[in-house]
Structure formats: C-alpha cells, structure tokens
A and B are shown apart, each in its own frame.
Chain A
Amino acid sequence: MKLPGRFLMTLLLYVLRRLAYMAPVLLGVTVLAFLISHAIPGDPAQLIAGPKASRETVENIRRTHGLDQPLPAQYWRFLHGLSQGDLGVSIRSHRPVLEDIRDYLPATLELTLASLLLCLGLGIPLGILAAVKRNTVVDHLTRVFSVIGVSTPVFWLGLMLLLVFYRHLGWLPGSGRLDVTMAAPLRITGMYTVDALLAGDWQALRNAASHLLLPAFCLSYVYLAIITRIVRSSMIAVLGQDYIVTARANGLSEARVVLKHAFKNSLIPTVTIVGLSFGELMGGAILTETIFSWPGMGKYVVDSVNYLDFPAIMGFTLMVSLAYVCVNLAVDVLYAAINPTIRY
C-alpha cells in the first residue's frame, strides 16, 4: 500500500513537472499578446493621448510609456509591469485595466459558475439516460439535441430566449443582475446570489436568481450538449466491462450498477471536459453578457472593442488566457489525484 505522504510527494513532483512545462507556454502567451497589441493600426501614443492632444503631449506619452524604445525593450517593460499586475490604463475609463477587470470579474464568475452547474446538473443525468437507453428514442433525441447544441450561435439563442421568456411569456427579467429598484446585497463575494444567500436576504436572492437564469441557460446550452455526449460515450464504454457484468450477475439492482459502479468510472473524461470548456465559457460569456446587458468582463470587452480601447482588450485577453492555462493545470492535477494510475 502506498503511504499518503509518498502519494503527495509524487503528486507534488508531477505538479512541478507540469509547471516547468507550462512556463514557456505562459511566456509565449505574453509574447503573442504583446505582438498583437503592437499590430494595432495607428500610433498607440496618439491613441492614449486622444485625438485632440498636441504633438508635444503625444511625444511625452511616447517617452513615458517607453514607446520610443526598440521592441525587445518594450516587451521587457511590458513583462515587468505584468509581473506587478500592471495591464496598462484603459483609454475609455482612464483607470488601470486590472482595476476594471476586478470590478467586472464577480458578475462573470457568477454567470459562468451558474452555467457550469446547469451543464453538469442537466448534462450528466441526460448522458447517463442516453447511455442506459442506448439506441432508443431517448438516445436519438439527446443526439439531435446535442448536434443542435453545438451548432447554435450563442448570441442568437440569447435573443430567442429573450423573445420567448421575456417579451412573450413575461416570466423572467430581460437584462441586468437585479431590478433597478432593488439595492445590491452587501458585497462579500460580489456574486449577488451568493451574497444574498450569505446575508439571508431572500427577496434579493430570488430577484438575482431570476435575472441569472436566462443568461446562465443560454451560456450553458452548448456545453450541455458536449457534456451529454461525453458522459454518454464514457458510460457506454464502462457499461460494457466485465465488472459490470459481474455486478449484475451478483444480483445488484440496475440503479446501483449504473449509479454506483459505472458512473464513478465514467467521471474522468467529464472532469477533463470541464477544464477545457472553461475557455469556451469565457468566449461564450462575451456574447451572452452583451445580449443580456450583464455587467461582466465580457460586456466590458465588447464595449472596449467598440471604443477601440486596446489596453482593455489585451488586458482581458491576457487575463483570460492565463486563467485558462491555470484551470487546465488544476484539472490535470485533479485528474492525477482522482486516478492514481495516471502518471505522465
């Protein structure tokens, strides 16, 4: 038997190895982000100074921002700033981009976490159902559902949801995180539903949750389709194995066989997909937040696009990508922790 200490040691070594592999990729991410922000049309100094600035002001900005230095020196400066959390100053809000992002992050986090919960809460049972009822009407229906899921434009789905549930049925609110007449709950996490829950403010909780439902469903739909397919195929693979036959032969109930013996082992591919879908969820959040006027990072970046606010766009891009790489590292570690036979 492996001692827990030794197990932790191997896990730690594995994490360190992964980190060493990740370092060049992370550095590459910063290089690419730096190159893109230098490919922008026009003069960045002019862009920061604004259209009416005098030539002297522009020259001054060029010097103070180091824009007159050679490219490698500028990159070094950029990297140095980055290591201190400096993502530049937004042209639109005149505030450090990191501060802007910090303000908008909780709304996006609330939306993506709610979507993830919906994805797993609906996708896993649907996938299991499709696998157990393989090649029946139920299975075919989930297949149609998932093909449509991966083919639907998120922004269009959002509009259609608004049309049906807000305009015609009037069941759910159409935009924002709370009714305008309602005060935001005391800020603890910045996620309104969580804060309202912690404060025991049920009215705010109900209101925030009703605002969250449509955007969260819209964002989750695509990944719901993917997770359903993944759970289905890994369940089918597991259900065909000998130990399942043995379990059945021993007279265990079908529910016990499926839920206890088969499902546990089909979880691993699902965990991987959750990590990978983080990036897609962030992409989807850009569109969903725009449709539902959800004041998160996605809406912030689209507003920045319309304003050609490059520091904000690149700050967002960089932060999301760094988070994406870290989430996938975390998933890999989790993966190794769940299944001790996995060692790369």
Chain B
Amino acid sequence: MLNLIRKDFLVTYSNKFAFYMLLLLIPLLLFFIDNFDSNTSFMYSVLTFVFISTRTPFAYDMKDKPHLFIQSLPVTKTDIVISKYISIFVNFLIGSIFTTLYISFLSLFNLLDISVLKFSTVIFTLSVSIFLVSISLPAEFMFTPKMSNLINIIIYVIFLNFFIIGDNRILNFINIFSDYRIGIGLILVLLYFSSMVLSIVLYKNRKFY
C-alpha cells in the first residue's frame, strides 16, 4: 500500500509540468480570486493542489497505460483503489504545508495575513477535499482514462464555482459547517467509505485492453 502511495508521489512530482503547475501556477491563481484573503486563498490553493495531485497519475493512464503495468506487480486491485483514497490525506498535508508557507511568505509583503487563517478553514478544506475526491474517484475506476478525465474536470469546475467563487460563499459555508459539524462529519465518513467500496467493485469488474 505504501509503495503505491509512494509511486503516485514520485510520478506526480517527477513530472516537471505538474511540478510547475503545483508550485507556480496555483499561487498565481490566488490573485484572481475576488475578496482575496488568507482563508479563501488557502482553500482554493489546497483544493486545487489535492485535485491535481490525485489526477496526475491517472492522466498518465490516458497516455501510456501504466495502470496495466502496475497491475502486473504484486498488488491487488483493492490495494490500488485504497491507496488512492489514502493519498487524499497525504496530498492534503503536502498542499496545506506548501500553501501555509506561501501565504506566510506573502504576509511578509502585506499581500496576505497569515494570522487570520482559521483552523476551521483547514478542517473545512479537508472536508471539501474528501467530498470532492470521493465523488470524482469512482469515475476513474469505471470509465476509460479519457472519459474519466473529462468527467472529473467538469466536476472540479462546477465545484469551485459553487463553493469558492462568489460573494463570501466560503465564509457562509464554513459557518454552516461549524453549526452541523457532527452531522456533516458523519455524512462525509459515510460518503468516503461508500465511494471507496464502489470504486473497488467498479475496478474489479473493469475490462482492461
């Protein structure tokens, strides 16, 4: 399992394009968001980071079909699926560290203020990351790489528009989230594991050519 997570990490970060995307483009995008503050920036950056990191290994499947090679290694399809779901947390952690450091750096120039970054934003971003990846991953295990790529980009764009871009939407959502923490938390746990089981079933029954 750890080897699969490590494999995805190496594949994502050995790709120079993905590397520049993650390190340069995301911070630049922060400047295009209305009501630019540390909380919105954190969420937008980490969510994009998690999305790109999760998608990059699948993007290779479309071009080189390495998923066929990976399946010849001593791993089961269940291992492959579970590793992707665990990677959400690894990618979230890396994305959060990177984004916090970046916001701290911008704070030195008074462009952002790291001190206003709330812990509730971090928890909310983790929850949204789990939600986003849980609804997008089954498509990766069900459809061909091209089709799943298209579906997931559509999900991502809709998602960002719905949650983040707009007048104080994120703050409204964080407030709602704070009021119903336990209920939303339980729904997320249920969604996460249901999505994982669905992906395992889909991947086990998928035909590989």
The answer to whether A and B belong to the same complex is no
Question: Which A residues form the contact surface with B (CB < 8 A)?
Answer: none
Question: Which B residues form the contact surface with A (CB < 8 A)?
Answer: none
